[in-house]
Amino acid sequence: MDQPIVIVNDVRKRYRRVEALRGVSMQVDEGEIFGLIGPDGAGKTSLLRILATLLLADGGTATVDGLDVRRDYRRIRQRIGYMPGRFSLYQDLTVQENLEFFATTFNTTIEHNRHLIDDIYQHIERFKRRRAGKLSGGMKQKLALCCALIHAPRVLLLDEPTTGVDPVSRKEFWEMLFKLRDRHGISILVSTPYMDEAMKCDRIALTQDGRFLTINTPQAITSSYAKSLWSVRSDRMHALLDDLRQWPGADTVFSFGETYHVTIKNGHDSEQLRSHIAHRGHNDIHIERIDASIEDAFMALGDNNTANVTL
Amino acid sequence: MVLGYLISKEFKQMMRNIVLPVIFVLLPISVINVVPRIATQEIKHINFSVVDNDHSPLSERLVHKLAASPNFHLVGTFASYGQASATIDGGQADLIVEIQPDFERQLVVDGTAQVAVATNSVNGMKGSLSSGYVTQILADYSAQLRDEAGLDASNTRLARLNVEPRYLYNTTLDYKLYMVPALMAMILILICAFLPALNIVGEKEKGTIEQINVSPISKSQFVLSKLIPYTVVGLFMLTMAIALAWLIYGYWPSGSVWLIYVMAIAFVLVMSSLGLIVSNYSSTTQQAALLIFFFMMIFMHMSGMLTPIVSMPRWSQTLTLVNPMRYFMEAMRVIYLKPVGFAAVQEQFLRLCIMAAVLWTWAIASYRKTQA
């Protein structure tokens, strides 16, 4: 494998009192989908904006396709396709006009790179005379992706592209990213607050408070989760949380939607757990062994008290 | 080529806006058609009350003379000043003329007599103008009396000074002719300073500027793509205003028309650079609109549009030296009223150019800074 397409080395960024990036380092290899996973305020957007040459880092170095983000920003802009977190196309121009506009700003034409966007564009082609502002959320994201691709970039920088998009469109959007990676060899750096999307990436960086907790493949991260993990439910969920936390054998207890995820210390087991909560007057108790998800790993690695992740 | 495309995109968006194209046409029509008619400094209808303490033939003749004037309307004759002043309090009258008890006798004996004029000066301009009218009529009346006295020995001693002013350039003191060039300046400020600033901040607000910033479009290309369309629109509206002033009032610049465009372009450059600076420092359209509005108010009131600069206090006269609107306004009035060439507005042109250079440099520099 050649040189990594994106290299980030000890990058720092501070906004007055807030430290957005506390010295992060990572590399994105050619042709991989790299995910920045973490809650809002973790620093994902700052890092993407630094790589997109929209923001200057306070310290550290970063290169995209071998070019320094500080010195060679003009040349980098030809090689990246950036999709900001907010929909940022011209709402009063039509689908076709937006695409033409971005092609022209990069001194190219739609026809020239038609092959890159064809798969995506066919989803929205029947709306090409519609103004971008009148498209649905999923359609808008597809159009934005087309516009980011129209100058045939080597890297895509996507800032929370699926936030606020319906589940079907989210799935379609990821299918498109896979195709771009597999057919066109485009490297993709994508940020998302959705833990389930982490599993779709080739590698991920779990991000919190301006730091990377870990960088690895999602499979490696979940399988390295050593502790035994149990899902617990009962008829009195509200009281259950306190009761679980008071049990001396519980290592961590987190609320995960309908159930609590509990890790058990060495020397204790799930039968002791069951009798403990039965003692406390709970009925209808369900306890089962489960595999760790990215979110469990995130909770275990992160600063547990402030973690607030979306499932 | 890219710039041409950017500009055509700008026009496309402009025309798709439901408000802008209507404003472009409606603004010159309504401003040129309506404002000069309503913003007139002539007072047509003055209601006055009289307190005649003399009741002599001469005093009655004076009251008749006032009442016969087309601008004056007699509310009533009252026995005391108190009663007359009630008509001012009640809003029926604007002015009281009080004639002293021995008016006729004094006129005959001394050759002079006194008349007191009290005006409602809640509206200062109306007050001073209407008392000015009364003074004129009184002077006229006394001249008449002297003429009638003929070679009367008692009057030959008095020197007769007859002042007959000639108003140069604006021979009839037509206030409309004075207003029209100023209104053209206002239109240019609105279109060429307000709109590009709002447009750029609008792109910031909507986030579209992010996409422009990651493209290879240069800053100057981006800025020009915003300025050129609005300059074109501004000059179009100016042309409309010139044509309307000719059609409606028959005003045509006494100087050459191309001079107006030369001055307008210099002025637009200054105002649009100011608009750019404002857009660089504001992050919402609301902030930008308020800032531009602030500048517009100050510029307008300190431009000599409403109050002549020479009648301002000294400190504010000095401040008007950096007011671009002042120079444009001066030049416009000169070009409209005097049959002169470039030399007459050369100074104004140079000052506008200096301001444009300074502000333009600042605009570009501050644009870079926000790019971090």
Enter the ipTM.
0.75
Cα Rg of chain B, angstroms = 28
Taking contacts as CB-CB distances below 8 angstroms, the residues of chain B near A87 are 207
Identity of the residue in B6, B13, B214 whose CB atom sits nearest the CB atom of A53: B214
Query: May I ask the CATH class of domain A6-222?
Result: alpha beta
Binning chain A into helix, strand and coil, the percentages to the nearest 5 are 35, 30, 35
Sketch the domain layout of chain B as residue ranges: 2-39+172-369, 46-156
pLDDT digits 0-9 by tens, B308-367 = 888 888 898 888 899 999 999 889 888 988 888 888 899 999 999 999 999 988 888 887
- Number of neighbouring beta carbons within 10 Å of residue A285: 15
With 80 as the cut, is the pLDDT of residue B204 above it? Answer: yes
Binning chain B into helix, strand and coil, the percentages to the nearest 5 are 70, 5, 25
Strand partners, A82: A157
**Considering only alpha carbons, which residue of chain B is nearest residue A98?**
B9
Q: Could you write out the DSSP letters of every residue in A179-190?
A: HHHHHH--EEEE
* C-alpha–C-alpha distance, residues B97 and A95, integer Å: 75
Contact A88/B217, CB-based, under 8 Å? no
Least confident of A132-146, A255-269, B40-54, B169-183: B169-183
CATH architecture for the domain at A226-291: 2-Layer Sandwich (3.30)
Are B332 and B181 within 8 A, CB to CB? yes
Which residue intervals of chain A are DSSP H helices?
Answer: 44-51, 73-79, 95-105, 114-124, 137-149, 167-184, 195-198, 218-223, 237-246, 270-279, 294-301
Determine phi and psi for B128, rounding to 5 degrees.
-70, -35
Numbered residues of chain A with Cβ closer than 8 Å to any chain B Cβ: 52-56, 74, 77-78, 80, 82, 84, 86-93, 97, 101-102, 104-107, 147
- Number of neighbouring beta carbons within 10 Å of residue B321: 11
With 70 as the cut, is the pLDDT of residue A311 above it? Answer: no
pLDDT digits 0-9 by tens, B48-74 = 899 988 888 888 888 888 888 888 888
With 80 as the cut, is the pLDDT of residue A227 above it? Answer: no
Task: List, in order, residues 6 or more apart from A170 with CB less than 8 Å away.
Answer: A138, A162, A194, A197
- Residue B105: pLDDT band by 50, 70, 90 thresholds? confident
What local confidence, expressed as pLDDT, does residue A150 receive?
92
In the CATH scheme, what is the homologous superfamily, with its name and number, of domain B46-156?
abc type-2 transporter like domain (3.40.1710.10)
Sketch the domain layout of chain A as residue ranges: 6-222, 226-291
- Residue A303: pLDDT band by 50, 70, 90 thresholds? low
- Residue A286: pLDDT band by 50, 70, 90 thresholds? confident
* C-alpha–C-alpha distance, residues A24 and B349, integer Å: 56
Mutate to test the interface with A, among B10, B209, B211 (most CBs of A within 10 A): B211
pLDDT digits 0-9 by tens, A31-70 = 999 999 988 888 999 999 999 998 899 999 999 999 999 8
What local confidence, expressed as pLDDT, does residue B172 receive?
59
Mean per-residue pLDDT over chain B, rounded: 84
What local confidence, expressed as pLDDT, does residue B159 receive?
45
Tokens standing for residue B304: 């000599």
* C-alpha–C-alpha distance, residues B178 and B36, integer Å: 9
Determine phi and psi for B353, rounding to 5 degrees.
-65, -40
> Would you give the DSSP letter of residue A94?
B
- Across A25-29, A123-127, B89-93, B332-336, which has the greatest mean pLDDT? A25-29
With 90 as the cut, is the pLDDT of residue A283 above it? Answer: no
What local confidence, expressed as pLDDT, does residue A183 receive?
92
What local confidence, expressed as pLDDT, does residue A310 receive?
39
What local confidence, expressed as pLDDT, does residue A306 receive?
42
pLDDT digits 0-9 by tens, B148-161 = 776 454 554 444 45
Which of B104, B101, B100 has the alpha carbon at shortest distance from B58? B104
